[in-house]
Amino acid sequence: MALEDAKTQIDHAFTRPDTRGLSFENAFAGAPSFLRRRYTKDLAGVDVAVTGIPFDQAVTNRPGCRFGPRAIREASTLQPYDPPYGWDYSPLEAFSVVDYGDLAFDYAKVSSVPQAITDHVRGILAAGAAPLTLGGDHFVTLPILRAMAERHGPLALLQFDAHSDSWVDDDPDRIDHGTFVYKAVREGLIDPARSVSVGIRTTNPDTMGLTIIDAPEVHRTGPDAVARRIREVIGDAPCYLTFDIDALDPAFAPGTGTPVWGGLSSGQAALILREIAGLSLVGGDVVEVSPQYDHSGATAVAGAHVAMEILCLWGWTRRG
């Protein structure tokens, strides 16, 4: 059936007849939406809205993750032929998932971007959908969390990252991808006692009370132990998952702005994500994919797989 479908399916981003189901369109052809979902601004009856925020004007080193959403979408075209391996259910068939397109903003008015992001996510939530965001630099998580906390109250944050992003920043006008955790705690958007940062391997003495599972601990104790610790800390709290692609070692994800050696392997990340199934996930993002620093495309492929895992985690407690 798949081979027969592949002969006729094309441009599913615009032509697919519904918002559920697998796609057999040739990976190398057609308009690349995320997982070949339909592009639409109509969220009636939609469970998950995938959206891009191509903003990278808050970086401290190499820019370029404004191209991340586009690269992740293209890389994702390899995945929608089959249910994701190891999950025992098919989220693309179980749920209505669409590609909501990207946030529109004035790149020359950087100060207006945070509110634009918050309003964008508010619109998704108001329609009854959960947001799955493709970044963009890690600053974008802060205005997303503002909208999420309005809906769900203070959240447990599960952060995969090489950096704690909790550097002190009491200037409300500063837009910086390295301070979103500090501001999220200070604004009461996240509960640090129920929040975990995984993969940290840069020095910052003030972690704002989050549980830190640094990269050496992941390597020494293994993914199963890390997943158990995450579940212990977060419990049944509503959880937002943010995955900075630099949580992965540069050997697995060289296409990022602030690479740090000694990080997680893609295999470790995959095992941890699958072993935390059951968390009460309300949304998530993948950020800091800068495809121009990776001639192989491996970083975007990793980002696309992480985004699929977030979709699987969101659906796990809602399936059937």
Residue 244's φ and ψ, nearest 5 degrees, are: -80, 125
**d(Cα 289, Cα 284) in Å, to the nearest integer?**
15
pLDDT in tens, the chain (320 residues): 576 778 899 999 999 999 999 999 999 999 999 999 999 999 999 999 999 999 999 999 999 999 999 999 999 999 999 999 999 999 999 999 999 999 999 999 999 999 999 999 999 999 999 999 999 999 999 999 999 999 999 999 999 999 999 999 999 899 999 999 999 999 999 999 999 999 999 999 899 999 999 999 999 999 999 999 999 999 999 999 999 999 999 999 999 999 999 999 999 999 999 999 999 999 999 999 999 999 999 999 999 999 999 999 999 999 98
Structure tokens at 289: 């994919």
CA Rg, the chain, in Å? 18
User: Crossing angle of helices 141-152/113-126, nearest 10°?
Assistant: 40
**d(Cα 292, Cα 58) in Å, to the nearest integer?**
18
- pTM more than 0.85: yes
**d(Cα 22, Cα 16) in Å, to the nearest integer?**
10
**Could you tell me which residues are annotated as the binding site?**
138, 161, 163, 165, 244, 246
> How far, in Å, are 213, 250, 285 from residue 309 at the CA level?
20, 20, 11
What residue segments make up the domains of the chain, in order of their start?
A: 2-316
**Could you tell me which residues are annotated as the binding site for Mn(2+)?**
138, 161, 163, 165, 244, 246
Which class in CATH covers the domain with range 2-316?
alpha beta
**d(Cα 268, Cα 255) in Å, to the nearest integer?**
19
**d(Cα 71, Cα 123) in Å, to the nearest integer?**
25
